Amino acid sequence: MIKATYKKYILNFKNPSGTSRGILKTKETWFIILEENNKKGIGETGLFRGLSIDDVPDYEEKLIWVCININLGLDVLLKELLKYPSIQFGLEQAFLSLKSKTVFELYPSHFTQRKKAIPINGLVWMGEKEFMKTQIKEKLKTGFTCIKMKIGAIDFNTEIELLKSIRKEFSAQDIELRVDANGAFKSNEALEKLKVLSELNIHSIEQPIKQGQVEEMAELCAKTPLSIALDEELIGVFSFEEKKQLLETINPQFIILKPSLIGGFSGSKEWVNLAENKNIGWWITSALESNIGLNAIAQFTFSLNSKLPQGLGTGGLFTNNFESPLEVIKGTLQYNNSKKWNFNLI
């Protein structure tokens, strides 16, 4: 028999971090802990307030229900938790962890053996022009060749000037620029803004208009001079048929997968298979998880053999994250297995 418990944990940001959903100072998360035959497994349920579809009042009640019913088995639980993707994500990790030789090696590979690394983008947070420029220079200095910039929080013309100044110093061969609008553009202005951005050799833009405007997004993807990546658009799309229909209707150039928000590893694999059948590109991004969730996402991502830079570099944002073998070196995420985990909740 498996025994299950859960624990809440508050992550504190080193610097208040600006997102399209305001300034974040803390991030709450939960850990599901499984025990069987003197072995333990751990998984992080990465709820993201204001963004996760399962940000609902009965969230902790659902975690209690999961712990009581843990012996129904993973497959049954995942079906019951269709509308709680972050709990699905935590459960998948916990069961993998319980069955693994070591608690934190969920997908043994050349990545966990420190033979290969995962290329990642450097994330530049929203803020004043000089603050953003300083971040960009720091990322370049530390070896990143792909930078993702959040846009849409300050004046568009100011952002364009900032991007132009980057392009004066660094060509598209030197650095790949991705931008993320988090749905900030109005649908009737979006195409003109994409035309302006395309002149700066931008790789892609994430979610230019708010999610839920399917026809408008489809038209934008058909006319855009710049590759569009769906992000928030995938949240709350649960069934295989709904996913298939969404991709067929919008036909984006890329999709971005956040396992915490779209049903964990099984949900992500479903999206990947559908995208690849339609020649739609994809990459995987973490969503402000602690190093527990980030570690799981990184190992899962490596197993899928994507060649694109992934969005897996958020582990250094918190003052009270858990020490782990994960290291960001020269624009890659690496697994330094000589470093030990410091996880004191189990």
140 and 279 belong to one structural domain:
yes
Model pLDDT, residue 169: 81
Domain match, 88 and 17 both:
yes
Q: Transcribe 50-74 into DSSP letters.
A: TT-TT--TTHHHHHHHHHHTGGG-H
Determine, yes or no, domain membership for 344. Answer: no
Residue 342 lies in a domain: no
Does residue 65 sit in the same domain as residue 164? no
Domain annotation covers residue 33? yes
Counting the structural domains of the chain, the total is 2
Helix (H) / strand (E) element for 282: namely strand 281-284
Supply the angle between the helices 85-99 and 291-303 in degrees, to the nearest 10: 80
H-only helix segments in 170-290: 190-198, 214-223, 240-250, 264-277
Distance of CA 276 to the CA centre of its chain: 19
Assess if residue 106 is contained within a domain: no
Same domain, 64 and 136: no
pLDDT of 122: 92
In terms of domains, do 87 and 124 share one? no
- Does residue 110 lie within any of the structural domains? no
Q: What does the pLDDT read at residue 22? A: 66
pTM of the model: 0.93
Taking 50 as the pLDDT cut, the residues of the chain under it are: none
Q: Count of CB atoms within 10 A of residue 221's CB?
A: 17
pLDDT value of position 98: 97
Shared-domain flag, residues 152 and 284: yes
Residue 20's pLDDT is what?
55
**Do both 140 and 209 map to the same domain?**
yes
Query: How high is the pLDDT of residue 53?
Result: 94
Residue range 211-235, pLDDT digits in tens = 999 999 999 999 999 999 999 999 9
pLDDT digits (tens, 9 = 90+) for 75-130: 999 999 999 999 999 999 999 999 999 999 999 999 999 999 999 999 887 667 77
Which residue's entry shows tokens 């960009």? 136
Measured CA to CA, the distance from residue 179 to residue 176 in angstroms comes to 10
Instruction: Give the per-residue pLDDT at 41.
Output: 97
In this structure, what CATH number is given to the domain that contains residue 80?
3.30.390.10
262: CATH: 3.20.20.120
Structure-block tokens of residue 148: 């993702």
- Asked whether residue 105 is assigned to any structural domain, the reply reads no
What are the residue numbers of the active site? 150, 258
Could you give phi then psi for residue 282, rounded to 5 degrees?
-155, 155
Burial class (CB within 10 angstroms; exposed 0-12, middle 13-18, buried 19+) of 222: exposed
Q: 3-class SS at 164?
A: helix
Structural domain boundaries, residue 220: 118-335
The single residue listed with the structure tokens 């959903």 is: 21
**Rounded Cα–Cα distance for residues 122 and 138 (Å):** 10
